């Protein structure tokens, strides 16, 4: 292992903490350099052999993944579906068929054709507004890289080559890399790219390996052998820490251990304020692989089961039985807790590849979610049948996304009732009183909330979209994304209006957007009177702790005060004062030293 240069000045990198834990150790670089290959023209007679070469690479990649699945350690068996989905991706028509077609139509070598097909896939994924789905492009990138390595014969550093405890640094890692990590050798890992919802992050949490992703240039900023401190909760990475920082690290690690034990203790306690206001805390999931984490972190059910991955992981539309088996599994594993299954929330970006949709200038405002389902009744009925059939295996609820008016919910309920009648005629059992809910994520759904509330059993506020539509902000547009503001007074008023309409109609209202999992917003949401909060499972312990430290009456007064504010800045200032007064110490910068150092670096770089 190489050693860092002498007199190296400590620096701080900031990424996305995706798996908690704080460690200190030397760095091991995994070679994931960009592959190089020329664009090569081929003669017509070479097309068939070139296509065969590509097909052989696909077959070998599939065999490699199959071997990995067979060799999975016991603690990762439940994640085999992630690798299986990557095996299916090898034959996805966007990648596989398109590459074969480009070889033939453009007369180019397989590597170049594959890269061109991948560029097309990247472009499609960039249009997706849902970050959970957009992040799936990482799996496509990984699959393509494996194919390119097989085609070019270039190898990369193997994770098995690490023979002493180290912190892995790489441009990117795949779930397959993660399955081969031995916790006694891999102290943590850092990557240039990645996201909180990547499959690699999910598997790191299962293995208990601290991880920070999205560091942008960890591979360039950290030398092999260099000592680093990794904080997998905050996303802070200290490169070349001095003695003061090492002492701080030890104190911080001890504090983290105590805090984690405290969180674990709170995670299985009821989410109840000091004055007796009880809130249900549930988890948002996308994959069945996330269920163990949901249970470990003390969720009281699934508040949002995103079903899109069941469609994205298949070359063709999933069958009713495929959906039923997935829904049944999550219902049975979470029993007796409830599971809220959201019907397909996918847009006009053609990722349901067998449903032909035209290109749309603005997919976020186009044919997506319930609008798409109503246009494609067969697609919709298949989901409804699967959900109804699964309802006898647990406390299943159904949630319809992007309802913007009364006619839509009436149309949805007609399909639901027609599907029930079909199952009755066939003698297929289902729960007749399956609770029905809608997502409140369009401003008109708020203004019509009193009407809509009479048609359903619960509301679930999707703050990500509600904020986007209310403020007319495209979250994926870099020029306006900074204007996205959960604490905008207008947004708070929408949340309050929807909540009051639900309660006046005698139904419960949940929140399943990112706002629900942010601890600093807990007093605001308690004051608004939300009945349920659903979030990323990792956020649950802290949110529960916040609730148990809160007084709902004080939060109600706070909410009233914030609703009277004129600007988001004013709201933030009043909320900050409230947090200081009611939760002293809880929101102090946990990384004071790191923050100061980073500020020092910034000052130095701009001097």
- Here the CATH number for the domain that contains residue 82 is 1.10.274.10
**464 is annotated as contributing to ligand binding:** yes
Per-residue pLDDT, averaged over 442-464, amounts to: 95
The reply, when asked if residue 454 is annotated as ligand binding, is no
Decide if 373 is catalytic: no
Q: Is 5 within the bounds of a domain?
A: no
> Is 54 within a domain?
yes
Burial 442-451 (b: 16+ CB within 10 A, else e): bbebbebbee
Q: Given this model, what pLDDT does residue 453 score?
A: 97
Pick the more confident residue, 376 or 194.
Answer: 376
Query: Are residues 484 and 475 in contact, defined by beta-carbon separation less than 8 angstroms?
Result: yes
Domain check: are 238 and 280 in the same one? no
Let me know whether 445 and 587 are in one domain: yes
Q: pTM (2 decimals)?
A: 0.68
Structural domain containing residue 19: 11-32+158-256
- Judge if 206 and 293 occupy the same domain: no
Cα distance between residue 29 and residue 1, in whole Å: 9
Average pLDDT, the chain: 84
**What DSSP state is assigned to residue 534?**
E
Least confident piece of the model among 89-98, 136-145, 277-286: 136-145
The phi and psi torsions of 510 (rounded to 5 degrees) equal: -110, 170
Give backbone dihedrals phi and psi of 566, rounded to 5 degrees, phi first: -100, -25
Domain boundary among 208, 232, 256: 256
Q: How confident is the model at residue 475 (pLDDT cuts 50, 70, 90)?
A: low
Residue 598 has pLDDT above 50, yes or no: no
* Same domain, yes or no: 58 and 19: no
Nearest residue to 142 via CA among 122, 169, 128: 122
C-alpha to C-alpha distance for 26 and 21, rounded to whole angstroms: 16
Tell which phi-psi region holds residue 54, choosing left (phi > 0), alpha (psi between -120 and 50) or beta.
alpha
Same domain? For 24 and 73 the reply is no
Beta-carbon contacts of residue 569 (< 8 Å; ≥ 6 apart): none
d(CA 513, CA 515): 5
Contacts of 597 (CB under 8 A, 6+ apart): 10, 11, 12, 238
Structure tokens at 534: 């659903």
**Residue 163 assigned as binding residue:** no
Q: State how far the Cα of 377 lies from the Cα of 145, in Å rounded to an integer.
A: 38
Percent of the chain with pLDDT over 90: 45
- Within this chain, do residues 506 and 574 fall inside the same structural domain, yes or no? yes
Q: Which of 29, 256, 393, 512 is catalytic?
A: 512
Token output for 278: 């009880």
- Is 461:441 a contact under the CB 8 Å cutoff? yes
> What pLDDT digit, counting tens, does each position of 37-80 carry?
778 889 899 999 999 999 999 999 888 888 878 777 666 666 67
Query: How far apart, in whole angstroms, are the C-alpha atoms of residue 544 and residue 588?
Result: 18
- Catalytic residue status for 248: no
- Distance between CA atoms of 590 and 7, rounded to whole angstroms? 28
Nearest to 369 by CA among 344, 352, 348, 350: 344
- The total of other beta-carbon atoms located within 10 Å of residue 155's CB is 8
Choice among 199, 266, 415, 488 that is catalytic = 199
Is 472:542 a contact under the CB 8 Å cutoff?
no
Count: domains in the chain: 3
Both 525 and 424 in one domain: the answer is yes
Q: What does the block give as tokens for 98?
A: 């398109």
Q: Specify the CATH number for the domain of residue 368.
A: 3.20.20.60
The answer to the question of whether 109 is labelled as a binding residue is no
Q: Are residues 319 and 414 in the same domain?
A: yes
């Amino acid at each position: 292992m190489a050693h860092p240069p002498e007199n190296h000045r400590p620096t701080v990198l900031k990424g996305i903490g995706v798996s908690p834990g704080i460690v200190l150790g030397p760095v091991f670089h995994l070679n994931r350099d960009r592959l190089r290959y020329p664009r090569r023209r081929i003669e017509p007679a070479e097309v068939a052999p070139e296509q065969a070469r590509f097909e052989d690479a696909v077959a070998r990649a599939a065999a490699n993944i199959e071997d990995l699945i067979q060799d999975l350690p016991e603690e990762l068996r439940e994640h085999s579906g992630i690798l299986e989905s990557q095996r299916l991706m090898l034959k996805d028509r966007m990648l596989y068929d398109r590459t074969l077609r480009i070889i033939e139509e453009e007369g180019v070598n397989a590597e170049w054709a594959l890269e061109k097909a991948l560029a097309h896939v990247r472009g499609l994924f960039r249009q997706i507004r849902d970050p959970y789905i957009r992040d799936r492009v990482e799996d496509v990138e990984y699959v393509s890289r494996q194919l390119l390595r097989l085609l070019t014969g270039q190898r990369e550093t193997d994770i098995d080559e690490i023979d002493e405890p180290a912190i892995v640094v790489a441009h990117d890692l795949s779930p397959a890399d993660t399955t081969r990590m031995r916790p006694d050798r891999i102290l943590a890992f850092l990557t240039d790219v990645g996201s909180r919802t990547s499959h690699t992050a999910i598997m790191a949490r299962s293995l208990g390996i601290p991880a920070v992703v999205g560091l942008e240039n960890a591979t360039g900023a950290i030398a092999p052998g260099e000592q680093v401190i990794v904080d997998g909760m905050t996303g802070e990475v200290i490169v070349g820490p001095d003695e003061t920082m090492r002492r701080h690290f030890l104190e911080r690690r001890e504090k983290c251990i105590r805090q984690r034990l405290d969180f674990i203790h709170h995670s299985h306690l009821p989410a109840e304020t000091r004055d007796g206001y009880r809130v249900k805390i549930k988890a948002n999931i996308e994959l069945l692989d996330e269920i163990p984490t949901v249970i470990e972190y003390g969720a009281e059910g699934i508040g949002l089961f995103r079903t899109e991955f069941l469609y994205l992981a298949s070359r063709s539309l999933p069958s009713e039985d495929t959906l039923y088996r997935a829904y049944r599994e999550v219902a049975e594993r979470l029993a007796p807790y409830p599971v809220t299954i959201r019907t397909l929330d996918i847009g006009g970006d053609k990722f349901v590849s067998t449903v032909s949709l035209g290109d749309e200038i603005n997919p976020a405002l186009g044919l997506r979610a319930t609008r798409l389902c109503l246009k494609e009744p067969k697609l919709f009925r298949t989901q409804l049948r699967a959900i109804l059939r699964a309802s006898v295996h647990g406390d299943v609820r159904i949630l319809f996304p992007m309802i913007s008016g009364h006619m839509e919910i009436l149309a949805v309920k007609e399909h639901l009732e027609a599907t029930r009648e079909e199952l009755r005629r066939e003698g297929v059992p289902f729960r007749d009183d399956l609770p029905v809910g809608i997502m409140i994520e369009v401003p008109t759904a708020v203004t019509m909330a009193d009407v809509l509330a009479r048609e359903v059993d619960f509301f679930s506020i999707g703050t990500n979209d509600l904020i986007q539509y209310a403020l007319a902000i495209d979250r994926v547009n870099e020029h306006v994304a900074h204007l996205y503001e959960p604490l905008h007074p207008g947004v708070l008023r929408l949340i309050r209006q929807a909540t009051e309409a639900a309660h006046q109609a005698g139904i419960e209202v949940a929140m399943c957007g990112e706002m629900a999992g942010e601890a600093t917003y807990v007093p605001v949401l308690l004051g608004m009177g939300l009945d349920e909060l659903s979030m990323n499972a990792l956020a649950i312990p802290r949110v529960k702790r916040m609730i148990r430290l809160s007084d709902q009456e004080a939060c109600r007064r706070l909410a009233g005060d914030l609703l009277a504010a004129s600007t988001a800045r004013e709201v933030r200032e009043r909320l900050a004062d409230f947090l200081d007064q009611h939760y002293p110490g809880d929101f102090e910068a946990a990384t004071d030293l790191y923050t100061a150092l980073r500020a020092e670096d910034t000052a130095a770089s701009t001097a």
